[in-house]
Amino acid sequence: MRIAVVTGAGSGIGRSVALALSEAGWGLALAGRRAEPLQETAALAPGPCLAVPTDVTSPDGVAALFSRAVDEFGRVDLLFNNAGTFAGGGVPVEDLEYATWRAAVDTNLTGAFLCAQAAFRVMREQSPRGGRIINNGSISAHVPRPDSIAYTATKHAVTGLTKSLSLDGRKYDIACGQIDIGNAATEMTARMQTGVRQANGELAAEPVMAASDVAALVVQMSGLPLSANVQFATVMATAMPYVGRG
């Protein structure tokens, strides 16, 4: 059985991806800040699940997550690096609190790095060696929304993280790719359907897609042999204002 670690697995895209992987036969180590939502995800999954409440900004917490996964399943074949926050969204750059900026960096960038580092340490030593990391980027890894400097900067940084991991992972048979998601219907994007500010200052509702559409793509990427890699993939609501945004 192949084993996946999914962060941010208690809700939204993380939960959808976890359930789709479980249905595809993967064993899961589910990570998130709160125990109860993780247990709810585990209860919905048809296959074996380990729920590990984890703060991805904590090196010790991340190390414990991967240690639990290896103790339970013996190996890790996939990390879906999904935990993230939209901290500072809607706040003009001149009014953004330092603590809010730091919260976005700590979760979206440092958390992704810590989880990837822990995955490298496991994947390079296990037998058979190697594995796959899929980072959750964003449409904002390419273009910003108004007043989203913290989120946008961290998601651009995730792209650099993905490229470096992809290069450095070659010698360990570790593949790393990124999925950039636009307007999946989750709690975080509920406002898209009621109206969000556009680059011209107007409020406009935006189309969304099902989170299960994202999950289907992650399952497809995860099913490739380690000799093949989807380096970057964009999945988005077809009619959302991305191409031509601004």
Active-site residue list? 151
Cα gap 54→32, rounded to integer Å: 5
Residue entry with tokens 């984890």 = 54
Residue entry with tokens 């950039």 = 180
CB 116, CB 161: distance < 8 Å: yes
Point out which residues pair with 182 in neighbouring strands.
236
The DSSP H or E segment spanning 63 is: helix 59-73
- 59-164-159-216 Cα dihedral, nearest 10 degrees: -80
